[in-house]
Structure 1
Amino acid sequence: MTEKWLEWAQQIQSTAQAGLTFSKDKFDLKRYRQLLELSAEIMSSYSSTSMSTVMDLFHKEEGYQTPKIDARAVIFKENKILLVREKVDGKWALPGGFADVGVSLTENVIREVEEETGYRASYKRLIAVLDYLKHPHPPQPYHYYKFFLECDVTGSPADQTLETSDVQFFERNGLPELSLNRNTKSQIDLLFQYLNNPFKQPYID
């Protein structure tokens, strides 16, 4: 579902990143740097992001380009799902975020739940692994895989945290405005298919 211009730019960026990682020839390295700049120019031209900002993002990348991991917690209670209000845009999302290096997937999710909600979480099962590009998210410079892990929680929610300003459970037909960079309505609908359905197999794109 990604825009074609973004798909092309991501492919050019990935090729350039691989070339800069493995090439030793100074002329090839120059060409790969030009490809990286071309990718940034495409992204900047078709979005509201400046080329310098895109290049700053690219310069933070090292090594062979691979998809990034976004890990989200799925927490049900009384036929409702737990969402947090993001301070950055005032919209709602499943607790979670990008996985950190040196920490397992479940450890990442458990930590994010506690930091963003105040609840103490424990891993229950894997529900879905989705490709960001196959879902109606806004354009992003990188390619992401989104992992959705069902968790159980105990304790009480926090009034607010460093990243979130509210924590609530919502019914399937009463969802608030979602932060579409993080999760979409169709993804929440998919997750609700796992409510009270312990034997349903994980959905993987």
Structure 2
Amino acid sequence: MQLKWLEWAKQIQAISQAGLEYSKDMYDLERFELLRSLSIEILSEYSGIEHDKVRELFANEKGYATPKVDVRGVVFRDGKILMVKERLDGAWALPGGWADIGLSPKEVVKKEVKEESGLDVTPVRLLGIFDKKFHDHPPSPWHVYKIFVLCEIIGGQMESGMETLQVDFFPEDSLPELSVERNTEKQIKWLFESMRSKDMEVHLD
């Protein structure tokens, strides 16, 4: 679901962040700071989130603004897909999370699957790169790319972690309540289809 005011606020924030990073003229810097304040005001007004909280979470970075990257491990066993129950919302998601500075996508997915499910995996192949704005996720203040990586189990034991309550495998026709902030039903169905079709092309938004 795309909200025009949210997209405008994100674009204004990105322009202001780049301007504050690269501009030298004091008057331009003042104008870009005003743009950043405007983006904060828009998001606060329409979301109901306190102004200071919006500034802290949405408009506190420096440098050129780029999308955030979310890496998810896709693990199948006996025709079922691995999912973890998130502590934050009590719903289920593929194990994964934000990419870490200094780690490759393969390293990130191995770390996240281990931390959230207890399983040791090896990444096999890239299944897709999804731009969150094209899919049925709730509105987000960030522009996010979601990377889905097929993995194989090589060891470990299923157990919940600091961020998860439960770990389990689910068949395609009996999925649990999904954490749609992290993954949608259409995406999970697509992943099952990719498992059945080994020649399926990598998805790229």
* TM-score w.r.t. length of structure 2: 0.96
Equivalent residue letter for 1:73: G
Match of 2:13 in 1: 13
Helix, strand or coil at the partner of 2:2: coil
Return the alpha-carbon distance in structure 1 between the equivalents of residues 39 and 10 of structure 2. 7
Q: 1:121 touches 1:152 (CA, 8 Å); kept in 2?
A: yes
Helix, strand or coil at the partner of 2:194: coil
Q: 2:127 touches 2:202 (CA, 8 Å); kept in 1?
A: yes
Match of 1:100 in 2: 100
Q: 1:198: how far off? A: 1.8
Return the alpha-carbon distance in structure 1 between the equivalents of residues 48 and 81 of structure 2. 33
Task: Please list every run of 5 or more consecutive structure 2 residues that lacks an aligned counterpart in the other structure.
Answer: none
Return the alpha-carbon distance in structure 2 between the equivalents of residues 142 and 35 of structure 1. 17
Task: Please list every run of 5 or more consecutive structure 1 residues that lacks an aligned counterpart in the other structure.
Answer: none
Match of 2:192 in 1: 192
Q: 1:26: how far off? A: 1.2
Q: 2:40 touches 2:59 (CA, 8 Å); kept in 1?
A: no
Match of 1:113 in 2: 113
Match of 1:48 in 2: 48
Change (3 A) 1:5 1:169: same
Does the alignment pair 1:34 with 2:34? yes
Task: Write out per-residue CA displacement over residues 136-184 of structure 1, whole angstroms, 9 at most, x where no aligned residue.
Answer: 1111111010000000013344432101010011111111111111111
Task: Write out per-residue CA displacement over residues 86-105 of structure 1, whole angstroms, 9 at most, x where no aligned residue.
Answer: 01111100000000111101
Does the alignment pair 1:74 with 2:74? yes
Return the alpha-carbon distance in structure 1 between the equivalents of residues 40 and 60 of structure 2. 13
Helix, strand or coil at the partner of 1:121: strand
Q: 2:132 touches 2:144 (CA, 8 Å); kept in 1?
A: yes
Return the alpha-carbon distance in structure 2 between the equivalents of residues 138 and 64 of structure 1. 25
Q: 2:67 touches 2:143 (CA, 8 Å); kept in 1?
A: yes
In percent, how many aligned pairs have the same letter? 47
Helix, strand or coil at the partner of 1:90: coil
* TM-score w.r.t. length of structure 1: 0.96
| CA RMSD, Structure 1 to Structure 2 (Å) | 1.2
Task: Write out per-residue CA displacement over residues 120-139 of structure 1, whole angstroms, 9 at most, x where no aligned residue.
Answer: 01011100100011111111
Q: 1:2 touches 1:136 (CA, 8 Å); kept in 2?
A: no
Helix, strand or coil at the partner of 1:172: coil
Return the alpha-carbon distance in structure 2 between the equivalents of residues 70 and 31 of structure 1. 32
Q: 1:192: how far off? A: 1.1
Return the alpha-carbon distance in structure 1 between the equivalents of residues 52 and 157 of structure 2. 40
Does the alignment pair 1:150 with 2:141? no
